[in-house]
Structure 1
Amino acid sequence: MEDLFQFNGFRYNWLNVLDLAIVIFLVIQLYRLLKGSLAFNIFVGLLMVYFAYFMVELLHMPILTLILQNFINIGLIAIIIIFQPEIRKFLLVLGKKAPLSKDSFFTKLFLPDKFKSYKEEENIIDEVVTAVSHMAATSTGALIVLSNSYRVKFDTASSISLDSNINAKLLESIFCKGSPLHDGALIIVGNKILAAKVILPVSENPNLPLQVGLRHRSAVGITEHSDNLAIVVSEERGTISYAEDGTLTQDVSLEDLKSKLYEVLVEGYPG
């Protein structure tokens, strides 16, 4: 292949340019994925180490090159350990966007049949939106997590297992201030209320607004490393928010919430 240019005795062609462009694209995607998390500073530090390595190699400094090369080789294992949550989140995003047919052999073999029809999904959406609207009107604090995975992980030590059908009145009664189950989150998996009074991981994202409370930070925390949607009703203001992929969207309307639920439960289902 014809060379484009030469630099420092090396010849570069179109494949080298493409190689560099792919690396730049991947770095940008990593930046977007890690931005706002505690791992971002570690990511910047690693970029500086790699930049220093290429500079000392380019300047033919063998001792520093050897030291940094060994550091990088050992550091690959450390990177996997440190960035385990981010790697898992990245793979979840890829898996979520993977085009799978609802009637494909792979889907039938490996993916659970969560809903018998879209009619059942629409009924679930109506029940959740009805409950959220009533709780918002009465400033009843609530945290509802809808999971697409039957293997959703949470602390079972303090949670109460329910395995109940989704009903607006039941949701409201659970979060009623006099209820023993109103503290913590409620987990919905498929077409069932799986558990209540669930303690969720609290997000350490420093970019979250200072005025948000524990419910909102817990909503962000459960969605940072898992494919869930968390709905929050503020006890102080009666406003509605939701978190997805570690991002908090505040003060949404009931129509916006309903659209998001359709996006997750209907449009998000392979088909």
Structure 2
Amino acid sequence: MKEVIELYGYEFRWLNALDLLIVIFLIIQLYRLLKGSLAFNIFVGLLMVYITYFLVRWLQMPILTNILQNFINVGIIAIIIIFQPEIRKFLLVLGKKTPLSKDSFLSKLFLPDKFKSYKEEENIINEIIVAISRMQATRTGALIVIATTYRLKFDSASSINIDGNVSSKLIESIFEKHSPLHDGALIIVGNKILAAKVILPVSENPNLPTRIGLRHRSAVGITEHSDNLAIIVSEERGSVSYAQDGDLIQDVSLEDLKVKLYEVLIDGYA
């Protein structure tokens, strides 16, 4: 059987079909990654430029082909600059799926984490839940970010270093309404409260509910390009929400939140 097919003067092989399927798969993944963000409109515009380029090249229009070719050559650098956060998130997600990632079969087979005791993590979860339940009862606004594999980058000039053990009393005192550390986010890394009064990037996702405040938008913003978990206690309604992977889950129960904390702090390493 002949493996090469002549199509409009071009040689078409089965590898070309595989090439096309891979490109379609990558475009779908990029769509899912950018959906709901302002960068999505830029992505659509660039995609239209590429489609136009292939069309005018196929129609043998040399002037437009050269113009678009030069635009595309320069556009590669522009894409890296514009989509730097999205590229970082894509690589982060891709890294989780590698054979040696913590969630992979090989990692679970060869690493001794499955024999590890998680008493420290369970204690941290309980301390967080106790603090949130009390702040929910008193309608004390709070924003807690739990960093996992991604080292947080934040404005150190405006934040206050804490470097203290995770405890419900310390969390409550930080977010107490008259505390100077009340505004901003609290960052937990490992078994330590790293910093408080942290200013986070605000999400520009137009699909977020219009009634949500700055805390919720900041929670979504810090999780759009990282694998962190952000927990929010609403000062107005006393409700509890969390953000993960750029998605906002509102009005969750303490039981559901505890399950999510177990998933992030324990199941993610088991």
TM-score (norm 1): 0.91
Q: Pairwise mapping of residues 240-259 of structure 1 onto structure 2 (< 5 A)?
A: 240-259=240-259
Structure 2 gap ranges (5+): none
Q: Is residue 2:126 matched to residue 1:122?
A: no
Aligned to 1:60: 60
Aligned residues: 262
Deviations 1:70-100 (A, max 9, x none): 1101111111111101001111112233334
Aligned to 2:131: 131
- Retained in 2: the 8 A contact 1:146–1:228? yes
Deviations 1:191-227 (A, max 9, x none): 0011111111111111110000000011011111222
Q: Pairwise mapping of residues 28-107 of structure 1 onto structure 2 (< 5 A)?
A: 28-98=28-98, 99-100=101-102, 101=107
Aligned to 2:171: 171
- Whole-angstrom CA distance in 1 between matches of 2:87 and 2:38: 14
- Retained in 2: the 8 A contact 1:159–1:196? yes
- Whole-angstrom CA distance in 2 between matches of 1:125 and 1:9: 64
Of 91-100 and 237-246, the range deviating more from structure 2: 91-100
- Whole-angstrom CA distance in 1 between matches of 2:75 and 2:229: 34
Amino acid at match of 2:186: L
3-state SS of 2:155 partner: coil
- Whole-angstrom CA distance in 2 between matches of 1:71 and 1:266: 48
- Whole-angstrom CA distance in 1 between matches of 2:96 and 2:147: 13
Q: Pairwise mapping of residues 232-271 of structure 1 onto structure 2 (< 5 A)?
A: 232-269=232-269, 271=270
- Whole-angstrom CA distance in 1 between matches of 2:152 and 2:217: 18
Structure 1 gap ranges (5+): none
Residue 4 (structure 1) shift:
7.3
TM-score (norm 2): 0.91
Amino acid at match of 2:54: F
Q: Pairwise mapping of residues 153-168 of structure 1 onto structure 2 (< 5 A)?
A: 153-168=153-168
Of 116-125 and 70-79, the range deviating more from structure 2: 116-125
Residue 150 (structure 1) shift:
7.3
Quickly say closer, same or farther: Cα 1:30–1:192, change in 2 above 3 A: same
Residue 255 (structure 1) shift:
1.3
Of 183-192 and 9-18, the range deviating more from structure 2: 9-18
Quickly say closer, same or farther: Cα 1:240–1:2, change in 2 above 3 A: farther
3-state SS of 2:162 partner: strand
- Whole-angstrom CA distance in 2 between matches of 1:257 and 1:72: 46
- Whole-angstrom CA distance in 2 between matches of 1:67 and 1:2: 37
Q: Is residue 2:16 matched to residue 1:16?
A: yes
Quickly say closer, same or farther: Cα 1:28–1:151, change in 2 above 3 A: closer
- Whole-angstrom CA distance in 2 between matches of 1:2 and 1:80: 40
Residue 7 (structure 1) shift:
2.4
Residue 230 (structure 1) shift:
0.4
- Whole-angstrom CA distance in 2 between matches of 1:92 and 1:19: 24
- Retained in 2: the 8 A contact 1:181–1:196? yes
Quickly say closer, same or farther: Cα 1:150–1:60, change in 2 above 3 A: closer
Of 93-102 and 211-220, the range deviating more from structure 2: 93-102
